[in-house]
C-alpha cells in the first residue's frame, strides 16, 4: 500500500492538505479513466480516497469498489479508507464469499456500504455468478497495483469479461440522483510501474487497452511531486565468488551425504512405481489402463515420485544455498530439513492407504541414510564458512549503518531475497555473526504461499519460528527492528516505513520489481544497493534504466485513451480465439473459457467423497504425452520430442455423475493442451447447467461441502437440528365457540354407570362418544368408569329452561371451583341439566329452606347450610355428600355419617386442640358430630391410576361446619365434568381439523378421530397419548416418500444433491413454516389440563376477574372475547412434529398414498406423487441390457431374489472407483433410496409391534442398532454362497478328469471397483470379521446385550454397509415397489430376524456410551474420556469422580481405533460400576 501523504497510516481526512500534484491527478480522474503512475510513497491512495468521496456524491445509488491484489493489502487499505469515508466493507477469501449463494447477502453488503474493498478474484466471482451487477451497482473501479491487469489476471478478466460488454458511460460532472443507468463504471488505476518488462510503448498500450484508461503522471506540478519523492543513491556492490557452482558442495559435509543418497536412488524401486506397475498388470484394456500407463511412463521419465521429487528438490535447494550463502548455511539447511522430514512423515500420523504408507516408509528409509553433521553456532566457524557474497553483504551493512549515523539518522534497511528458504538461512547467519548480531535488530518478512512444495514434508520454511507479517511490520515501524530480510512480498503495497537502505541480494526479475523495491528506499539520503558478481554483465540494469527513461518520455507525451476492439480484448489462450462465453440471461452469470476449469473443479469438490474415492475431473489429452508402454521399452529413449499440436481432449467426470453427462470430447483442433482442457471443461460445465445440476448463478446446487461425519457426530447434529426455535402464532382453537350465538342449542345426553343421565347443551355440535372416541374415567374411589353420549340433536331452550340450565351449571361448577368463578356471570359456553335425578326435589327444598333462613345474606351462601341447624331441621339425614370445615372457603370433605356416641375425654381434648378448633375460646363439643374423610385431590381422571385407599376419618363439630346443598349425583358430576369436558374439547378440536383443513384433501377427512387426537396432542398437554410415536413413524415415512420422489424427478442428480434436497424438504424449519401457512397451530392440543386450576369456559369473558386466582390460559378462551394476548410463542419443533405425526396417522390409515396426500397438503416445496408412479418413472429409464457377468447370479442366490432388470443390480454393486463400465452410475443414488427404505421398515415394525407401545427413545435405540455402519457391514461380510469351482485335473491313474470342487463367494467380493485401497480394505475387514464373527454371532443370537464393542472391532469401511442399502433400493425398484418383497429381502439379509429377537427378548441395545452419559447425568457427575497411545495401541480411560477409572485398548489404525477403545471401555465401565440396562432402573 502506498503511504498516504507521508510514511504513516494517517487517514486522508478533510484536514489533510492535498498536494498540488495530487489535485492534478484527482481532476484528471474526474474527466476520464486514468492510471496514476507515481513513485512509491507519493500518496496515490490519497488520490483514490478523494476520488471515491466524490463518486459517493455523484452516484449515491452505486458503490466504489477498491481492488487490491492480496488479502494483506486489502486489510491495510480498508483501515485507511474507512477512517476517511466510513461505511467501507471488506470482502476477501477468508470470509468464504464463494459460499454467499444468497443474492440478498451481496445486495445487503452493497446497500450498507459506500465503498467495498476486496481482492480482484472476489469481485470477478461475484460478477461471473451474477450476484453483483457491474453496470447497475458499481460507479467506480479502483485498481491498486494496476500493472497486474494483464492476460488472465482477475483484474483483466473483470474488464474483459464484464466491463466492455456494458454501454459506454455518459459524461456526468454533477450529482446524479435520477434513475440508475446501466453503464460502464469509471476506472482509476494506481501503480508505481505500469509494466513488468519488454517494449515500453507496447506495454503502455496493452495496459491502457485492458483498463480502458490512459496512463497519467503529474505534469503541471511535477516539481511538487519531486519535493516529496526522494530517489535513492544507486550503488553497486561487487563481490568475487571464488567457489565454482558445481564444486562448492565439497565444503559442505551434509550436502555431500545428501547427494550420495540422492544419487543412489533407483526410480524402478520406488513404491509408487511398483504400485503403478502392479495396478497396470491387473487392469483390462480401457481408458483407466491407458491413464495408469501414461502416469507410469511420466513418473519414470521425469523421476517424479513422492520420494525422488522431494529429495531432488532438497538437494537442489541446498546446493543453491551452498553456492549463494556458503557451506555453513547449506549444512544448517540440510540438517533442519532432514529432522523436519523425519518428524512429518511418520507412518502413524494419519490413516493412509497401504501404498502411501510404503512411500512414506521409503522416504524415511532414505532420509535416515543422511547422517548429517551437527552445525556449529560458533561465530568464528560461521565466519569461515560463509560465501564471499555474504561477506560482501556484511561489509555493505556496516557501511550503510555508518553512513546513516553520519547524518544523525537511525538505520533502517531492507534486504530483498528471491528464495524463501534463503531468507531463513540468511536470517540465521545474520543473527549469529559477530558483525551483525549486536549491531542490528533483525526480522523476516515472507509470503504466505501454499505451494505444494512448501507444504511438502521436506519444507522447513513453515516450521521456522518467525513472526507474523503484522508483528514484523509493527516492530519495524516502531524501531524495535531495524533490518528486515524479505521476499518479494515486501516489494509491493505493504505499508512499510520509508527505509534508509534497500539491498537487493538478487537482481530484480522485472521492471516492476526494480521500481517497487527501489521505491522502498524513499527516505532523504537513502541508498539502493545492487549486489553483482565480478563477472556479471550489468546489461540488465542498463535495460531497466533505459526502460525508465522511455517511460518518462511516454509520461510526457500527449496521449489519448485508445478504444479497445472486442477481438483485441480477448487475449487468446496460446494464440487461440477465446470468444466462447456462456451467459444466463435471468441472472447475468457468465462462464468463460478461462474460468471453466476452476468452476468444474469446484463442482466436483462439493460432491460427497469418501476416503476411498476423491472425486476429480480426468483429462485425457489427445494424443497422449508418452508412447504407450514406454515404461517397458528396452532400451528406453529419453529424447522424446514434444508434440506441437493440435490437441484434443476427453474429459471424464466422476462416476457419481450420470453416464449421459460424464464424458465430454473435444476434437484435435486446439493449439495447446491448456486450450483443449479449457474447451472440454467449458463444454462439460454448460452441459451440467443444462441438466439442472447448476443453478442460474452457475453454481452447484449444493454450494457448501460438509465434512463426512461419523455416527456419533451425526447423532449430535440430529440433536442440534431438533432444538427448537419459536414462532409467534394465534392461540389454540376454542371448539366450543360458535361463529355466532344462535337461539337453538345442540343437546346430548351424558351417561355414566350409577349416575342419572346429564344433558349437555352447546352452541356447537358435540361428537358422539363411541368406539372411535371412547372415554374412560379413572375414578379414585369407584375405579374405571365408561362415559357415553347420545347423538347430538338440535333443540330450542325457552327462556325459563335456559335460565334453569345456567343456574344448574353454575351450581355444578361452584361446588368445586367457586373461588375461581364470578357468581353473576352465567354466559357459559356449555350448559347442563339433569332431568332424572331422584334426589333433585329433596335438595331443592333444602336450598329453599336455606334461602328463607338467609334472606339478607350473600346468595352464594344458599348452596351451603350450617351443619348444626341443617341436622336439627332434617333429623340428621345421611344423604349428604360434601362437608366443609368452617364457611364457604373451607376445605371440602366426603361425608361418612353422624357420630351420636360420645367420644372419650382424650378424644374430645384432641378435638379441641386440633388446628381447626384451637383458637375458639370455651369450645363446647356438642353431639352428634359429623364424621368425614378427605376428598381425593382434583386430578385428571383421563389418566389411568389405581383406586385410592380410604382416608382417615375426621370429626367435625356441626356448629362450625357447613353442608353442600347438592345431591350426590350433582357432586359426582361436579368432580368429573372438567375431565369429561377436556376429552370433548380434544375430540371436537380433532373433528374441527377434519371438517376444515382436511376438506382440501378428501381422503384425509376419513382418518379416525382416535388417530387424529394423539397426532395433534403435544407432550406438554400431559394427555394419555401424544404425537411422539406418530411423529417418529411420520418422519420415516416422509423421508422415504421424499427420497422416492427425488429419485424419480431428478435422474441426473448425484446422491449429494438428493440428500441435501431431501434434508431441505424435511427439516424442522421447512415443516414449521408449512404448518404456519395452513394455521395448523390452531388445532394443536398444547394446554396442560390441570383440574385444580380449572374454570369453565364462557361465551364472553367475565368482567370481574378479581376473584380469579389463576390464569385464564389454562383452557382456551372463547374467541369472541380474546385473552390479553392474541398470540403466543410456539416451538417450531412442535409445529414440525405435528406435521410429521399427521403424515404418520395418514400412513397408518391409508398407506403411502394417503401419507403422500397429507404431505401434499402442507406444500413442502416438492410436488409429491405416488410411490408406484415414481417407481414406474424410474424403471422407464432403465435400459435393457445383456451380457452380464455370472457374478450377478451369485449375488442373486445370496439375497434370494432374481432381478428382472439386471442393470439395477449392476448399479447397486458399482463403486465410484470402477472405470471399466462407462455407462453405469455408481451405487450412491441407490444407497440413498435404500437408506430411507431401511429406516422406514424398521420404524414401521417397531410402531406396530403387538403388545408394546415403544417410546420414540426406544425406537431410536432399536433403529440405531439395526441401521448402522457396523451391523450392516457385518451382514455384508457374512453373506455368501458356494459356487462350483470344478477343474480338469489328473486322476491317480494319470487320466484327466473333472474334479469336483466348490468355493465360497462373499457378497463384499462382488463389489465392482478399480481401487487398490478398496481391495486392501476388503481384505483387512474380512480378516477382522473372521477373528470376531463367532463372538458377534453369539451375542446377536442369544446375548442379552447388543455387541457394540465387538462390532466396532470390525472397523469396516463404509462401502460395505452401502452395499446392503443399495441392494435394498435396487430390489425395491425391480419389484415395482413391492413392500413384501423388500421385507423378505431384509429377512434374508438377517436384519429382520435380528430386529425381532432384540425386540421380543428385550435385548439391551442402548449404546454403551449413551448409557454411561445418561447414568452420569442422573448421578450429577462429570465423565471424561482420555486417549493415550502406547506400544501401537490406543488406550481409552474413562474417569468419573468417586469411582475407579476404567481402561480399554485397541490396536491403533486411525480414528476408528479410538471408537473401538471407547466402546470397549464404556462396556467395561457399565459392568464394573454396576449400571443397569436400558429396560431397568439404572443402579448406583
SS3 (DSSP) at 141: strand
What are the E-state strand segments in 758-823? 758-762, 775-779, 783-789, 793-796
Q: Are 322 and 421 in contact (CB under 8 A)?
A: no
Sort 1047 into a burial class: Cβ within 10 Å, 0-12 / 13-18 / 19+. Answer: buried
Cis check: omega of the bond before 27, within 30 degrees of 0: no
CA angle 974, 979, 981 (to 5 degrees): 85
Tell me what pLDDT residue 722 has. Answer: 47
Q: Is the dihedral of CA 298, 304, 308, 313 positive or negative?
A: positive
Packing angle of the helix pair 1228-1247, 1055-1066 (nearest 10 deg): 40
pLDDT at 559: 64
- Partners of 929 in the β-ladder: 899
Give me the pLDDT at residue 291, please.
87
- HSE of 627 in the Cβ direction (CA atoms, 13 Å)? 10
pLDDT for 1 equals 38
Long-range contacts formed by 1412-1419: CB under 8 A, 24+ apart? 1412/1438, 1412/1466, 1412/1469, 1412/1470, 1412/1475, 1414/1482, 1415/1475, 1415/1482, 1416/1440, 1418/1482, 1419/1484
| pLDDT value for 289 | 85
490 to each of 189, 447, 464, 469, 519, how far by Cα in Å? Answer: 20, 9, 19, 10, 11
Say if CB 1186 and CB 1198 are below 8 A apart.
no
Q: Can you give the pLDDT at residue 1249?
A: 92
> According to the model, what pLDDT value does residue 564 have?
54
- For cell 414449521, the residue is 1072
Amino acid 501: pLDDT = 81
Of 499, 531, 542, nearest to 518 by C-alpha is 499
Any residues with CB less than 8 A from the CB of 1239 and at least 6 apart, and which?
1036, 1039, 1040, 1263, 1267
Contact present, 194 and 161 (Cβ < 8 Å): no
DSSP string, 291-356: HHHHHHHHHHHHT-SHHHHHHHHHHHHHHHHHHHH-HHHHHHHHHHHHHHHHHHT-TTSS---HHH
Q: What integer pLDDT is reported at residue 380 of this predicted model?
A: 81
Per-10-residue mean pLDDT of the chain, 1484 residues long, equals 38 64 90 87 88 88 92 86 87 70 82 92 91 92 91 92 89 58 92 74 86 89 73 77 83 90 90 87 82 89 86 89 89 86 56 57 86 82 85 87 84 84 85 86 72 48 61 78 78 61 78 64 72 70 69 68 52 56 91 91 81 78 90 77 88 89 93 94 95 90 54 45 64 88 92 93 90 86 91 92 93 87 90 92 91 71 86 93 85 92 90 88 90 85 85 90 92 92 94 90 88 93 91 96 95 89 90 92 90 88 49 37 62 92 95 94 91 94 77 90 93 86 85 95 94 90 92 95 76 71 88 85 91 92 89 90 96 95 95 94 87 84 88 87 87 71 87 69 36
* pLDDT score, position 952: 86
Q: What is the pLDDT of residues 49-66, one digit of tens each?
A: 999 999 988 888 899 999
Q: How many CB atoms lie within 10 A of CB 1416?
A: 17
Q: Spell out a b/e string for 691-705, using b for 16 or more CB atoms within 10 Å of the CB, else e.
A: bebbbebbbbbbbee
Paired sense of beta strands 663-670 and 726-730, if any: unpaired
Spatial distance between the Cα atoms of 1141 and 727, rounded to a whole number of angstroms:
19
Query: Rg (Cα) of the chain, in Å, rounded?
Result: 44
How many of the other CB atoms lie within 10 Å of CB of 1063?
13
Amino acid at each position: 500500500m502506498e503511504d498516504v501523504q507521508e510514511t504513516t497510516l494517517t487517514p486522508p481526512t478533510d484536514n489533510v492538505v492535498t498536494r498540488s500534484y495530487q489535485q492534478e491527478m484527482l481532476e484528471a480522474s474526474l474527466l476520464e479513466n486514468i492510471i496514476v503512475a507515481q513513485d512509491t510513497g507519493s500518496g496515490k491512495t490519497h488520490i483514490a480516497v478523494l476520488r471515491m468521496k466524490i463518486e459517493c456524491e455523484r452516484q449515491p445509488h452505486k458503490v466504489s469498489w477498491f481492488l487490491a491484489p492480496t488479502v494483506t493489502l486489502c486489510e491495510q487499505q480498508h483501515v485507511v479508507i474507512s477512517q476517511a469515508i466510513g461505511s467501507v466493507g471488506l470482502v476477501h477469501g477468508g470470509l468464504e464469499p464463494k459460499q454467499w449463494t444468497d443474492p440478498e447477502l451481496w445486495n445487503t453488503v452493497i446497500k450498507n456500504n459506500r465503498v467495498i474493498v476486496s481482492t480482484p478474484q472476489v469481485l470477478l466471482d461475484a460478477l461471473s455468478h451474477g450476484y453483483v451487477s457491474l453496470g447497475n451497482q458499481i460507479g467506480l473501479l479502483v485498481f491498486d497495483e494496476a500493472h497486474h491487469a494483464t492476460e488472465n489476471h482477475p483484474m483483466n478478466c473483470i474488464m474483459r469479461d464484464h466491463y466492455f460488454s456494458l454501454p459506454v458511460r455518459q459524461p456526468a460532472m454533477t450529482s446524479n440522483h435520477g434513475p440508475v443507468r446501466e453503464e460502464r463504471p469509471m476506472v482509476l488505476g494506481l501503480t508505481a510501474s505500469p509494466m513488468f518488462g519488454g517494449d515500453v510503448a507496447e506495454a503502455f498500450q496493452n495496459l491502457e487497452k485492458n483498463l480502458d484508461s490512459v496512463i497519467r503522471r503529474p505534469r503541471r506540478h511535477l516539481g511538487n511531486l519531486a519535493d516529496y519523492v526522494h530517489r535513492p543513491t544507486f550503488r553497486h556492490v561487487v563481490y568475487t565468488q571464488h567457489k565454482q557452482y558445481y564444486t562448492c558442495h565439497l565444503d559442505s559435509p551434509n550436502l555431500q551425504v545428501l547427494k550420495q543418497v540422492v544419487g543412489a536412488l533407483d526410480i524402478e524401486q520406488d513404491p509408487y512405481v511398483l504400485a503403478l506397475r502392479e495396478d497396470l498388470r491387473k487392469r483390462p484394456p480401457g481408458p483407466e489402463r491407458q491413464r495408469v500407463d501414461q502416469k507410469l511412463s511420466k513418473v519414470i521419465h521425469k523421476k517424479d515420485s513422492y520420494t525422488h521429487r522431494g529429495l531432488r528438490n532438497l538437494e537442489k535447494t541446498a546446493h543453491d544455498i551452498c553456492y549463494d550463502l556458503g557451506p555453513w548455511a547449506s549444512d544448517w539447511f540440510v540438517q533442519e530439513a532432514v529432522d523436519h522430514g523425519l518428524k512429518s512423515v511418520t507412518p502413524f500420523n494419519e490413516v493412509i492407504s497401504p501404498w502411501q504408507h510404503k512411500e512414506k516408509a521409503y522416504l524415511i528409509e532414505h532420509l535416515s541414510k543422511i547422517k548429517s553433521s551437527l552445525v556449529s553456532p560458533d561465530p568464528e566457524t560461521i565466519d569461515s564458512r560463509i560465501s564471499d557474497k555474504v561477506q560482501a553483504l556484511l561489509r555493505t551493512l556496516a557501511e550503510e549503518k555508518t553512513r546513516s549515523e553520519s547524518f544523525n539518522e537511525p538505520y533502517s534497511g531492507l534486504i530483498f531475497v528471491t528464495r524463501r528458504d534463503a531468507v531463513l538461512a540468511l536470517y540465521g547467519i545474520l543473527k549469529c555473526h559477530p558483525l551483525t548480531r549486536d549491531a542490528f535488530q533483525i526480522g523476516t518478512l515472507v509470503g504466505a504461499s501454499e505451494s505444494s512444495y512448501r507444504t511438502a514434508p521436506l519444507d522447513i520454511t513453515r516450521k521456522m519460528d518467525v513472526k507474523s507479517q503484522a508483528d514484523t511490520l509493527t516492530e519495524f515501524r516502531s524501531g524495535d527492528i531495524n533490518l528486515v530480510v524479505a521476499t518479494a512480498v515486501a516489494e509491493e503495497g505493504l505499508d512499510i516505513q520509508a527505509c534508509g537502505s534497500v539491498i537487493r541480494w538478487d537482481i530484480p526479475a522485472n521492471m516492476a520489481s526494480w521500481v517497487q523495491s527501489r521505491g522502498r528506499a524513499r527516505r532523504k539520503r537513502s541508498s539502493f544497493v545492487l549486489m553483482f558478481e565480478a563477472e556479471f554483465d550489468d546489461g540488465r540494469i542498463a535495460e531497466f534504466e533505459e526502460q525508465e527513461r522511455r517511460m518518462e518520455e511516454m509520461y510526457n507525451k500527449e496521449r489519448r485513451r485508445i478504444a479497445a476492439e472486442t477481438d483485441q480484448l480477448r487475449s487468446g489462450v496460446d494464440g487461440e480465439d477465446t470468444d466462447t462465453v456462456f451467459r444466463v440471461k435471468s441472472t447475468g452469470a457468465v462462464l468463460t473459457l478461462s474460468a471453466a476449469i476452476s468452476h468444474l473443479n469446484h463442482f466436483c469438490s462439493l460432491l460427497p467423497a469418501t476416503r476411498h474415492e476423491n472425486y476429480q475431473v480426468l483429462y485425457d489429452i489427445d494424443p497422449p504425452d508418452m508412447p504407450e508402454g514406454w515404461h517397458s521399452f528396452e532400451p528406453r529413449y529419453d529424447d522424446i520430442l514434444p508434440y506441437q499440436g493440435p490437441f484434443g481432449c476427453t474429459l471424464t467426470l466422476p462416476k457419481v455423475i450420470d453416464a449421459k453427462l460424464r464424458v465430454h470430447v473435444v476434437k484435435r483442433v486446439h493449439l495447446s493442451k491448456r486450450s483443449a482442457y479449457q474447451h472440454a471443461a467449458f463444454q462439460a460445465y454448460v452441459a451440467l447447467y443444462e441438466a439442472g445440476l447448476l443453478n442460474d448463478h452457475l453454481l452447484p446446487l449444493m454450494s457448501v461441502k460438509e465434512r463426512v461425519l461419523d455416527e456419533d457426530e451425526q447423532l449430535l447434529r440430529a440433536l442440534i437440528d431438533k432444538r427448537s426455535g419459536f414462532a409467534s402464532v394465534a392461540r389454540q382453537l376454542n371448539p366450543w365457540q360458535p361463529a355466532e350465538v344462535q337461539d337453538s342449542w345442540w343437546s346430548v345426553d351424558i351417561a355414566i354407570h350409577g349416575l342419572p343421565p346429564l344433558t349437555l347443551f352447546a352452541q356447537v355440535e358435540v361428537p358422539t362418544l363411541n368406539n372411535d372416541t371412547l372415554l374412560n374415567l379413572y375414578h379414585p374411589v369407584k375405579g374405571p368408569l365408561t362415559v357415553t353420549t347420545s347423538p347430538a340433536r338440535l333443540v330450542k331452550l325457552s327462556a325459563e329452561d335456559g335460565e334453569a340450565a345456567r343456574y344448574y351449571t353454575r351450581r355444578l361448577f361452584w361446588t368445586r371451583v367457586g373461588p375461581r368463578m364470578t357468581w353473576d356471570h352465567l354466559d357459559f359456553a356449555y350448559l347442563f341439566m339433569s332431568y332424572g335425578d331422584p334426589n333433585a326435589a329433596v335438595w331443592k327444598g333444602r336450598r329453599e329452606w336455606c334461602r328463607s333462613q338467609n334472606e339478607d345474606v350473600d346468595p352464594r351462601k344458599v348452596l351451603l347450610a350450617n351443619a348444626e341447624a341443617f341436622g336439627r331441621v332434617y333429623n340428621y339425614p345421611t344423604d349428604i355428600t360434601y362437608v366443609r370445615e368452617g364457611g364457604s372457603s373451607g376445605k371440602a370433605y366426603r361425608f361418612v355419617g353422624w357420630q351420636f356416641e360420645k367420644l372419650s375425654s382424650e378424644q374430645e381434648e384432641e378435638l379441641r386442640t386440633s388446628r381447626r378448633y384451637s383458637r375458639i375460646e370455651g369450645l363446647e363439643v356438642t353431639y352428634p358430630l359429623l364424621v368425614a374423610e378427605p376428598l381425593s385431590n382434583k386430578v385428571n381422571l383421563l389418566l389411568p391410576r389405581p383406586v385410592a385407599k380410604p382416608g382417615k376419618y375426621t370429626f367435625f363439630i356441626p356448629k362450625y361446619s357447613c353442608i353442600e346443598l347438592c345431591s350426590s349425583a350433582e357432586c359426582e358430576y361436579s368432580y368429573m365434568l372438567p375431565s369429561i369436558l377436556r376429552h370433548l374439547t380434544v375430540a371436537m378440536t380433532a373433528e374441527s381439523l377434519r371438517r376444515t383443513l382436511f376438506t382440501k384433501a378428501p381422503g384425509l377427512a376419513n382418518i379416525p378421530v382416535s388417530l387424529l387426537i394423539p397426532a395433534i396432542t403435544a407432550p406438554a398437554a400431559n394427555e394419555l397419548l401424544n404425537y411422539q410415536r406418530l411423529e417418529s413413524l411420520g418422519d420415516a415415512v416422509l423421508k422415504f416418500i421424499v427420497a422416492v420422489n427425488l429419485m424419480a424427478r431428478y435422474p441426473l442428480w448425484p446422491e449429494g444433491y438428493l440428500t441435501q434436497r431431501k434434508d431441505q424438504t424435511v427439516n424442522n424449519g421447512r415443516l414449521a413454516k408449512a404448518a404456519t401457512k395452513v394455521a395448523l397451530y390452531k388445532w394443536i392440543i398444547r394446554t396442560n389440563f390441570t383440574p385444580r386450576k380449572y374454570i369453565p369456559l364462557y361465551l364472553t369473558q367475565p368482567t370481574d376477574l378479581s376473584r380469579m386466582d389463576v390464569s385464564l390460559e389454562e383452557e382456551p378462551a372463547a374467541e369472541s372475547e380474546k385473552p390479553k394476548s392474541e398470540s403466543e410463542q410456539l416451538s417450531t419443533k412442535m409445529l414440525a412434529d405435528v406435521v410429521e405425526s399427521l403424515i404418520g396417522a395418514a400412513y397408518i390409515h391409508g398407506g403411502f398414498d394417503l401419507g403422500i396426500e397429507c404431505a401434499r397438503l402442507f406444500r413442502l416445496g416438492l410436488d409429491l406423487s405416488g410411490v408406484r408412479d415414481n417407481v414406474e418413472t424410474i424403471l422407464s429409464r432403465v435400459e435393457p441390457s445383456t451380457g452380464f457377468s455370472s457374478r450377478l447370479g451369485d449375488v442373486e442366490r445370496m439375497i434370494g431374489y432374481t432381478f428382472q432388470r439386471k442393470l439395477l443390480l449392476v448399479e447397486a454393486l458399482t463403486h465410484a472407483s470402477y472405470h471399466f463400465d462407462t455407462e453405469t452410475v455408481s451405487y450412491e443414488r441407490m444407497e440413498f433410496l435404500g437408506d430411507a427404505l431401511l429406516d422406514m421398515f424398521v420404524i414401521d415394525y417397531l410402531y406396530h409391534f403387538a403388545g408394546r407401545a415403544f417410546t420414540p427413545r426406544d425406537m431410536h435405540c432399536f433403529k440405531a442398532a439395526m441401521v448402522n455402519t457396523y451391523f450392516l457391514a457385518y451382514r455384508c461380510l457374512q453373506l455368501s454362497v458356494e459356487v462350483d469351482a470344478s477343474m480338469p485335473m489328473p486322476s491317480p491313474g494319470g487320466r484327466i478328469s473333472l474334479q469336483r470342487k466348490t468355493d465360497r463367494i462373499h457378497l463384499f467380493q462382488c463389489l465392482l471397483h478399480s481401487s487398490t485401497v478398496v481391495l486392501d480394505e476388503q481384505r483387512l475387514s474380512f480378516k477382522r470379521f473372521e477373528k470376531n464373527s463367532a463372538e458377534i454371532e453369539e451375542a446377536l443370537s442369544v446375548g442379552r446385550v447388543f455387541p457394540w464393542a465387538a462390532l466396532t472391532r470390525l472397523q469396516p469401511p463404509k462401502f460395505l454397509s452401502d452395499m446392503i442399502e443399495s441392494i435394498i433400493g435396487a430390489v425395491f425398484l425391480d419389484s415395482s415397489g413391492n413392500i413384501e418383497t423388500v421385507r423378505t429381502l431384509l429377512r434374508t439379509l438377517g436384519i429382520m430376524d435380528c430386529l425381532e429377537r432384540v425386540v421380543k427378548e428385550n435385548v439391551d441395545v442402548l449404546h454403551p456410551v449413551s448409557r454411561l452419559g445418561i447414568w452420569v447425568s442422573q448421578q450429577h457427575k462429570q465423565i471424561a474420556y482420555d486417549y493415550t497411545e502406547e506400544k501401537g495401541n490406543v488406550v481409552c480411560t474413562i474417569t468419573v469422580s468417586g469411582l475407579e477409572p476404567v481402561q480399554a485398548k485397541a490396536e491403533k489404525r486411525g480414528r476408528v481405533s479410538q471408537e473401538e477403545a471407547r466402546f470397549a471401555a464404556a462396556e467395561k465401565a457399565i459392568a464394573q460400576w454396576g449400571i443397569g440396562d436400558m429396560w431397568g432402573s439404572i443402579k448406583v
